[in-house]
Structure 1
Amino acid sequence: MKFGFIGTGVITEAIVTGLLKQEGAAHEFLLSERSRAVSARLAVASAQVQIATDNQEIADQADVLFLAVLPQVAEEVLQPLQFRAGQKVVSLIATVTHERLREWIGADVELTRAIPLPAVAERRGVTVLYPQDRVLSGLFAGLGTAVTAKTVEEFDAYAAASALMGTYFGVLETAAGWLAAQGCSEEGAQAYLTGVFSGLAKRAEADAGSSFSALREGHSTPGGLNEQLFRVFDSAGGSKALTEGLESVAARLQAAKS
């Protein structure tokens, strides 16, 4: 199968890197020249990767065509291109709706929107898709986990939640700073917290039938330290601030669509 990518940035690099790690996969990749540093790096990494100087060449040859350009230039890039009826097209362009994409594409393509996260490069990422597409679900399941949204509203909610990555590292940054203030080394604090949170993520994966609420309670002895820390966090407005942050991102995403 030949995958074409119009737009070669961080997420394109992550997807291609992850797919190249699949044993026995005879995929071919045709990448746009931009960003030149990323496309050149991938071409050096594998003979399965080729660079095209013309986006129409990519659209013509790709069995699955990924659109990975910035939203502000998407119309300019996509409108001049000719697409094939029935072609499988995957949009990674944040905030641009199905309706607008179809208007720009101008052909009856099989259009799916997706939100891959950087960890697909290690085949440990989670990718949200809309609408359901069996081929793409299988593709992204091979790069970690694939979640299909049932409605566009659900897809938009997942898009807002994807903004939690910076907050996650910000929480670790704060905790590491506190440990350093207690006399721990920066290296030790980072190694410790990385191990703790990695272990918790693996526990959640292994116990996927349990809700996060149940997992929190299971990791919090009544009257114990974990229960105390969450109680203080929640009463100090931590949970409220997190919810407000998600709401603000969701509102921004909705505003960008209008």
Structure 2
Amino acid sequence: MSKLGFVGTGSITVAIVEGLHAGEAPAPAILVSPRNAQNAKRLAAAFKGVSVAHDNQQIVDESDITLLAVRPQVAEEVVRALRFRNGQKLVSLVAGIGADTLQTWISEKVDIVQAIPLPFVAARLGFTVICPPDNAAIALFDRVGSTLGIEDQRSLKVFFAASAMMGLYFGLLETASDWLLKEGLEGSAAKHYLNSLFAGLSHAALNSGADFPDLRHEFSTKGGINEQLFRVFSEHGGRSALHEGLDAVMARLNKA
């Protein structure tokens, strides 16, 4: 595999590097940014093929595929400071900034691909959306999970919006745990029960050919407590709140 260079060494870079080293196939040579010194040093110490660059320009100069993994707020400043080679492959992991916008920040004509890797790539469980479908990017992210290639930017933004539900997911667990503790359960028991419950439900969804409404009915006995809880949740605006939240995230992505 081509030499990889990561501009930005945050949590998603760490997850990808760990995932690449978790498989049986040898990991490629990897150059990481010194921007997050703690993460960069830890990766270089843990994996033989990982080196820390002197600066971001060295990453661009020496990598075959450059992955942009910085916060959207600093992306323009970081990208404008770099000199690329014509035709160089740039895989952007930055939410809300399209390929056309990225190209306006770069003097050279580069081959830009956008991807949405999730933190689970560390355990090679990721599902990475790639736009447009690109053989090199697909080959890379297939090594840390599975991939979906899509052609249009709007669908990419929809997937980006959906990825914003990670915090909501853990917030739901947190809220449920708070209730269990209020009712007298110990913290460790509440955490273990909720983790097992949601892991089992995810396993059922992944291994069933049924759609979500069908699964909801399958796991909700008519007149039972599961049906009751979903009804109360819906009647008090739970479903509409989620839709409104996703709409707000989508509006933010459309403005970027």
TM-score (norm 2): 0.94
- What residue is the counterpart of 2:169 in the other structure? 168
**In structure 1, what is the Cα distance between the partners aligned to 2:180 and 2:146?**
33
Q: Note if 1:204 corresponds to 2:215.
A: no
Q: Which structure 2 residues correspond to residues 140-219 of structure 1 after superposition, within 5 A?
A: 140-207=141-208, 209-219=209-219
Q: Which amino acid aligns with 1:42?
A: L
Shift of residue 110, structure 1, vs aligned partner: 1.9
Shift of residue 184, structure 1, vs aligned partner: 0.9
Deviations 1:143-164 (A, max 9, x none): 2232233311111111111111
- What residue is the counterpart of 2:44 in the other structure? 43
**In structure 1, what is the Cα distance between the partners aligned to 2:65 and 2:127?**
19
- What residue is the counterpart of 2:59 in the other structure? 58
Q: Which amino acid aligns with 2:13?
A: T
- What residue is the counterpart of 1:235 in the other structure? 235
Q: Which amino acid aligns with 1:70?
A: R
Shift of residue 84, structure 1, vs aligned partner: 2.0
TM-score (norm 1): 0.94
- What residue is the counterpart of 1:89 in the other structure? 90
Q: Which amino acid aligns with 2:207?
A: A
Shift of residue 71, structure 1, vs aligned partner: 2.3
Q: Percent identity?
A: 47
Query: 5+ unaligned residues in a row in structure 2: which ranges?
Result: none
Alignment coverage as a number of residue pairs: 255
SS at match of 2:127: strand
- What residue is the counterpart of 1:9 in the other structure? 10
SS at match of 2:105: helix
Q: Which amino acid aligns with 2:179?
A: W
Q: Note if 1:107 corresponds to 2:127.
A: no
Query: 5+ unaligned residues in a row in structure 1: which ranges?
Result: none
SS at match of 1:53: coil
SS at match of 1:129: strand
> Is the deviation greater in 118-127 or in 29-38?
118-127
- What residue is the counterpart of 1:18 in the other structure? 19
SS at match of 2:115: strand
Q: Note if 1:139 corresponds to 2:148.
A: no
SS at match of 1:156: helix
**In structure 2, what is the Cα distance between the partners aligned to 1:176 and 1:218?**
25
